[in-house]
Amino acid sequence: MEHTWVEAFVDFEPSRGIKNRAGDSWIPIDASFKQYRFTEGMDLKERVPFDEQALLNSIKQSSLINEDEGWVKNVPQGDIEIQLQQFQDQIEAYIASQDSDATIAEVLGLQEIEILPPRPLAAGLPYDHIVTQDSFLVLPDDLRHKFKYELATQSYGYPNVPFITLNEPTAKLAGKKLALSFRPATDNDQEIIESYVPEADPATGRIDLTEFPDTLPGYLINLVAELKIDGEVVQSAAAQTMGTELHETIGLFSPSHNWFTSNNNPIAGEHRAIGLDLQGISPIQAHAIKSRMERTQAILESEDDTLLSTLTNDDMVGDVIYGTIISYFALNDLQEEVHAQGSEMVTYRLPSYGIFGTTIQPQYWFGLPRNISFSGLTIDVDAVTFHSVAKDNNEQARVNFTKSSGFQWSAMEHLVPEEMFSQPDAPTHGVSAVKALAIASAEGQKIWSIEQSNLDLAISQIDLGPEVEAEIKNAVLAGKIATVHETNIIYHGWVGSGYLLIDPETGAGAYKIAGGANGGVIMTLVAGVLGVLDGLTRVGSGGSAPIFPGAYRDLWKNAKWAKFLGWAALAVEAWTTLGNNDLSWSDKLGRLAGAMFAFGATSAVVGLAFGFAGIVFAAIVGLMFAVFISVLMNQFYSLYFSCICKLKYTGRVS
């Protein structure tokens, strides 16, 4: 087994390091070599057995399962919850009967490091040393775990030169609070924002929160991006106007696996707390956050103007947001430890990161972010890694543990924010991938398990939008197993889907949600095709009878009938666009005008093409033009008549 240790130049003779006056010897010290003390827990498996097979049989009896096609329907979630609750009650009763004050460690067993008192140093390593592979005076850069953060503007989806760049060893960032936030660039920008804050009631001195505007004019407000570590600004740069979509790259460097990076598109004006879980969340770090939040709460409740003036944006928003992502990691670490002990696994956290932050939804008008609204909070955990191995070295047990951990991490994405932000009279509703699947299942949707053998059938049966379906298809073709539901769910105003992409060999996977639909393409395409039909029927009419020769009369007749269907489809699409609450009225009118333009332009192109080379050429050119104009109009809508409807991954609360 490989080990890394340091050699310290210490005063070894004669006290063996107890009295350190002047160094005389290089002594190897391996801090990673530890002895554990194990305490037996209660034997719950034997004392309170759980009949998994009975539960499985009950699920199979109540569910509609099609193994050939690869889907399941009507899973009795209520029955499962009841049985699990009964099992939980039995365990609690047993524990209470043994020791009502038992701790988790006493129930599940304890594994703790033996902290030894200071004693004279040993002259050598505490294990057999076979060979030294290499030694360094200073740890080389490529053997350090590193974290990087880059923020840039973007052109056509690609990042420009980053205006914020952080690249530091993780050891420097451990336990520190990282956040990206924005402040007004000038006093004028500050005044514009303040002009939208309602006046305080002269009698009570309080501001009615309901009077806050729903939107801000993003194009009038310039912002400066600030990257903060422990509340101190370490880098800042102008980031254009509020509502501008930016390009963010986050990554971790591991000496064994090189860089892992993920890209996101934050919006200028959002507050994003970056949580690093390097080797677990330390109690000191958690306690520091709790203390800061308690201090802020005390100041807010004191209503003392002097104290209140000392509070910063970071105190009031930053700590709560950061506390949520750190709580997420801390709770998952704890759950995973408990889970590992119960599953006879050994697991260690590897550097992981995630983001929790506010979400801004801009609406654009001719490229300018015009209306900026706050649309909720988003948790986005891009990297969760850990070492795990079964105590009996069973590979399948390790894969199963990884899979069930993934479910737990996904579920926490809605549970933690819900717990953090719910009020007794105003519950918060979060969505994660596993919750979206549960909601879809409760709605009676089929839950598909997609492998390469049933990929084509499953893709033809689900309707989750082309981007999600393409991602699922690519993942399955790459060897992953996808778990998806049939159609988008609606949950407290959120429309979207949840899906899992799991590697069957390792159990690792992506737990994703995707929400928001960029409408408009279908309407333009339908309008374009309608333009083709209109063009064909117009050029085909030669007085009372069609002018085409016999072979093409059918084309003309079918075009005539299809035209009516096309009008119906266009009406449906127009109605859907008008009912899309994510779009303002100007956006809706813009899209309808775009569809009308597509219709007229395609019809004219068909007329010209017919004059040039006849009916077949006109039909093909017309359809190709309809596709072309749909692509162009889609780009045009996304720039000028759209809200940003980006895919949201992992979790969302609103």
Give the binding site for another protein (CB under 8 A).
Answer: 156-158, 466-467, 469-470, 521-522, 525, 538-543, 547, 549-552, 604, 607-618, 620-621, 623-624, 627-628, 630-631, 634-635
**Exposure on the CB side of residue 378, measured as CA atoms within 13 A:** 26
**Shortest CB 269 distance to another protein, Å:** 23
Cα–chain center distance at 349 = 20
Complex with another protein: residue 513 or 606, whichever CB lies closer: 606
Whether residue 626 contacts residue 601, with contact meaning beta carbons closer than 8 Å, is answered with: no
**Shortest CB 58 distance to another protein, Å:** 40
Complex with another protein: residue 136 or 158, whichever CB lies closer: 158
**Shortest CB 473 distance to another protein, Å:** 9
Complex with another protein: residue 490 or 547, whichever CB lies closer: 547
C-alpha R_g of the chain:
31
**Shortest CB 626 distance to another protein, Å:** 8
d(CA 294, CA 413): 24
Beta strand extents in 62-170 (DSSP E only): 64-66, 71-73, 110-113, 146-152, 154-155, 158-159, 164-169
User: Which DSSP state fits 282?
Assistant: -
Q: Which two tokens stand for residue 589?
A: 């009118």
Helix extents (H) in 49-131: 52-62, 77-98, 104-108
Rounded to 5 degrees, φ, ψ at 37 are -110, 125
**Shortest CB 279 distance to another protein, Å:** 36
Whether residue 276 contacts residue 350, with contact meaning beta carbons closer than 8 Å, is answered with: no
**Shortest CB 153 distance to another protein, Å:** 16
**Shortest CB 107 distance to another protein, Å:** 50
**Shortest CB 594 distance to another protein, Å:** 15
- The secondary element (H helix, E strand) that includes residue 10 is strand 6-10
d(CA 184, CA 167): 26
**Shortest CB 2 distance to another protein, Å:** 40
Among 587, 620, 625, which residue's Cα sits nearest to residue 605?
Answer: 625
Complex with another protein: residue 592 or 606, whichever CB lies closer: 606
Q: What is the DSSP string of 307-344?
A: HHTT--HIIIIIHHHHHHHHHHHHHHHHHHHHHHHHTT
Among 193, 195, 319, which residue's Cα sits nearest to residue 311?
Answer: 319
Complex with another protein: residue 469 or 486, whichever CB lies closer: 469
Complex with another protein: residue 109 or 607, whichever CB lies closer: 607
Complex with another protein: residue 78 or 614, whichever CB lies closer: 614
d(CA 87, CA 98): 17
Any idea which residue has 């993920």 for tokens?
262
Complex with another protein: residue 405 or 537, whichever CB lies closer: 537
**Shortest CB 507 distance to another protein, Å:** 28
**Shortest CB 546 distance to another protein, Å:** 9
Whether residue 260 contacts residue 382, with contact meaning beta carbons closer than 8 Å, is answered with: no
Any idea which residue has 């409760």 for tokens?
442
Q: Is the dihedral of CA 381, 383, 387, 389 positive or negative?
A: positive
Complex with another protein: residue 335 or 638, whichever CB lies closer: 638
Complex with another protein: residue 321 or 472, whichever CB lies closer: 472
Rounded to 5 degrees, φ, ψ at 357 are -165, 175
**Start-to-end Cα distance in the chain:** 48
Complex with another protein: residue 438 or 517, whichever CB lies closer: 517
Omega of the bond leading into 14 within 30 degrees of 0 (cis): yes
